[in-house]
Structure 1
């Protein structure tokens, strides 16, 4: 794991670092920290990361200024902040978890475990996904996303207007964030549950999810029974 801590209080930074090293052990490859937004942005632009711990108040600057950018990246983001009233907004941007200050090791470990255990944020669905567009970040409303297709380490977002957008997060990471409204119907597809019109069984034991607009998405054999039992 390659981790960045974005926190302006050295005492808290060291506490997060100590707990994180204890939790990850030898699975931790590198752990760095930044205490300003500019420093964090530069580091993120020039380094490969798996996880960012982010405070929402950095010497008077808002962590949301960084969050609106980093949620389009391939890594997960965990907020560690005393501003509990900002938790819902943070989840709307697609963070993996919100750890309120003051926190203990158990709470931090619970957040970290979501990365490997595939635990979802089912009660905190993002309202939009951020994608990079011409060196800027564009927010795509979840309401406009029909389905998502895996494309290697990236994903393709297929929208209601027929457009397609490339997202830097993997299908597995988006599955964790979108589990309450999207279902993994195939190793390569996440489909919005409310857009499925019917499940079709074709000859040769082929299973298809037909969407309301007529688009047909393959269903994996191991996924069919679960989908059929839950939604149809």
Structure 2
């Protein structure tokens, strides 16, 4: 597992590295520390991490300048910053967690636990999904997403305007940051439950969901009982 820390204060960077190493004692990890935004972006370009720990104020540089790029990438981002007034915006953009400075081991471990435990979901979830197209980052309001389909290491966002956008994060990673309004109904689908019409039972013990758009999606057998108990 590759972890990147972008932090310009050496004392804090070393503390983050030490605590992160202590958290992942049962895993083989490689931690790289960059003390500037430029070095961090260059490192990501060469070797994308599995997890990024990012400060928002780096020698006067604003980490929000690259935040859209980071949350559109395949990896998760945890913000570690004293700029707690930026927390709401950071969550809106789709970071996994926001650890305010000064922090202790318990708070950092809580954030890292969210990284390794997909079942721990945010109360509200993100408001936008950042997608990259032709080198540009575009923010898509989460209310515009009907469902998300797994496509290998990528995902396809099916939107209300009938367009499809490709996202770099996997279904598993998106499931961690999306609110409980999005349900995993199948190994290949996450659905916005506000867009569901009803649950269907088909012959041969097969199940599916009818969406308000008229589209029908498969439901995994292991998910059927759980979905049946929901108000659809």
Q: Which runs of 5+ in 2 are unaligned?
A: none
Q: Name the residue aligned to 1:216.
A: 216
Residues 38-92 of structure 1: per-residue CA shift (max 9 Å, x gap)? 1111111110310000111111111111111111111110011111121111111
Per the TM alignment, residue 196 of structure 1 is displaced from its structure 2 partner at its CA by: 0.2
Task: Give yes or no for contact 1:92–1:124 (8 Å, CA) kept in 2.
Answer: no
**How far does the alpha carbon of each residue in 1:96-118 deviate from its partner, in whole angstroms, 9 at most, with x for none?**
11111111111111111112221
Aligned to 1:40: 40
Unaligned residue ranges in structure 1 (runs of 5+): none
CA RMSD of aligned residues (A): 1.2
Q: Write the distance in 2 (CA, Å) between the matches of 1:28 and 1:99.
A: 24
Q: Is the 8 A contact 1:91 1:124 kept in 2?
A: no
Q: Which residue of 2 aligns with 1:128?
A: 128
Deviation at 1:202, TM superposition (A): 1.2
Deviates more, 1:184-193 or 1:118-127: 118-127
Alignment of 1:82-161 (within 5 A): 82-161=82-161
Compared CA separation, residues 124 and 58, structure 1 to 2 (3 A): farther
CA distance in 2, matches of 1:213, 1:184: 19
CA distance in 1, matches of 2:124, 2:30: 29
- Secondary structure, aligned partner of 1:80: strand
* Runs of 4+ off more than 2 Å: 119-122
Q: TM-score, normalised by structure 2?
A: 0.96
Alignment of 1:1-232 (within 5 A): 1-25=1-25, 27-232=27-232
Q: Would you say the 8 A contact 1:97–1:121 is kept in 2?
A: no
TM-score normalized by structure 1? 0.96
Secondary structure of 1:217's aligned partner: strand
Q: 1:9: Cα distance to partner?
A: 0.8
Structure 1 residues 11-20 or 54-63, which shifts more? Answer: 54-63
